[in-house]
């Protein structure tokens, strides 16, 4: 194995020592560019449903979608650790979770991610028993957004919510998850979870600066989906606007040439 290849064990060693940066990729050029930039963790997220496939949320993403895009990302042969989301309704039982996690691994995933805490512990344990590294996801759960009336709500605002998040995180760590995404968790609670989990990396998204690392949807970071940007993201470039402008300038050059 290339000595520069990032592994789960590499990331475990970073806990408390250096910040972890993770970004999403959905195709070969995207993965290759992120890898050349030195991004250590790539997630083929079910966010592809919105930023690539045009769905209103992640609930319409299928296993076939995930496998298709994962295979494209894996062709970049990255040094980054590459994983993928188990999509909506793909891990209802331990047997189904294992079957679909294996499909992702066969397509090239080096870890799998799923949403939920103690309610999915049987599935998490079954996946880990197969030797497949697991990343959790707590806080705002995009696959459950329709159950919450289509609203993305911040989690951990009261003591009951704080307690649920903390207990879920500790349960995932005890089960063997190497990392957990904390999405839209109040920053004090995210910091508390990080302190409570000595072995599991916490990766924030809209959850303040005190996690072990941060993850973003790459389209948000680079302004490639200009019709919506989360409030907690400041795009570093505006590629959507640049693409639109390039196309307009090219069309104008064709008109000039004909004239």
129 neighbors 162 (Cβ within 8 angstroms): no
pLDDT band at 259 (very low <50, low <70, confident <90, very high): low
pLDDT band at 1 (very low <50, low <70, confident <90, very high): very low
192 labelled catalytic: no
- Reduce the DSSP state of residue 77 to 3 states and report it: coil
- In the chain, the percentage of residues whose pLDDT exceeds 70 is 98
Through-space distance between the first and last CA atoms of the chain, rounded to whole angstroms:
58
What DSSP string describes 162-230?
Answer: HHHHHHHHHHHHHHT-SEEEEESB-HHHHHHHHHH-SSSEEEEESS-S-SSEEEE-HHHHTT-STT---
Strands 20-24 and 201-205: unpaired
pLDDT band at 112 (very low <50, low <70, confident <90, very high): very high
pLDDT, tens digit, 9 for 90 and up, residues 36-52? 999 999 999 999 999 99
Find the mean pLDDT for residues 108-123. Answer: 98
Least confident of 12-21, 66-75, 146-155: 146-155
Find the mean pLDDT for residues 118-131. Answer: 98
For the chain, which domains are there?
8-221 (3.20.20.60)
pLDDT reading at 256 higher than 90: no
Dist. CA 208–CA 250, nearest whole Å: 42
Find the mean pLDDT for residues 40-65. Answer: 97
**E strand segments, the chain:** 20-24, 41-44, 81-85, 111-113, 134-139, 179-183, 201-205, 213-216
Residue 54 region by backbone torsions, left for phi larger than 0, else alpha for psi between -120 and 50, else beta: left
pTM of the predicted model as reported, rounded to 2 decimal places:
0.94
Dist. CA 133–CA 33, nearest whole Å: 25
Which one is catalytic: 110, 173, 183, 192? 183
How does the average pLDDT of the chain come out, rounded?
Answer: 95
Dist. CA 113–CA 41, nearest whole Å: 13
Of 65, 137, 140, 160, whose CA–CA distance to 104 is shortest? Answer: 65
Find the mean pLDDT for residues 7-36. Answer: 96
pLDDT score, position 109: 98
pLDDT, tens digit, 9 for 90 and up, residues 89-107? 999 999 999 999 999 999 9
Compare 256 and 100 and report the one with higher pLDDT: 100
- Reduce the DSSP state of residue 222 to 3 states and report it: coil
Residues 6+ apart with CB under 8 A from 176: 124, 125, 128, 134
């Amino acid at each position: 194995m290339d000595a520069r290849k990032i592994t789960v064990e590499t990331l475990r060693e970073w806990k408390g020592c250096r910040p972890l940066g993770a970004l999403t990729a959905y195709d070969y050029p995207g993965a290759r560019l992120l890898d050349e930039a030195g991004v250590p963790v790539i997630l083929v997220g079910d966010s592809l449903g919105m930023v690539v496939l045009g769905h209103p949320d992640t609930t319409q993403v299928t296993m076939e979608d995930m496998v298709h895009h994962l295979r494209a990302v894996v062709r970049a042969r990255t040094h980054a650790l590459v994983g993928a989301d188990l999509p909506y309704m793909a891990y209802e039982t331990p047997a189904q979770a294992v079957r679909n996690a294996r499909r992702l691994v066969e397509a090239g995933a080096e870890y799998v991610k799923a949403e939920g805490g103690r309610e999915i512990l049987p599935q998490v344990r079954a996946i880990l028993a197969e030797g497949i590294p697991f990343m959790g996801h707590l806080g705002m759960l995009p696959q459950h957004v329709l159950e919450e009336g289509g609203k993305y709500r911040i989690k951990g605002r009261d003591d009951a919510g704080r307690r649920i998040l903390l207990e879920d995180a500790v349960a995932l760590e005890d089960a063997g998850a190497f990392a957990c995404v904390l999405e839209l968790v109040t920053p004090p609670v995210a910091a508390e979870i990080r302190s409570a989990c000595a072995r599991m990396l916490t990766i924030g998204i809209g959850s303040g600066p005190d996690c072990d690392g941060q993850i973003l949807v790459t389209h948000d970071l680079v302004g490639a989906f200009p019709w919506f940007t989360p409030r907690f993201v400041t795009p570093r470039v505006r590629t959507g606007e640049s693409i639109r402008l390039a196309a307009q300038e090219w069309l104008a050059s064709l008109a000039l040439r004909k004239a």
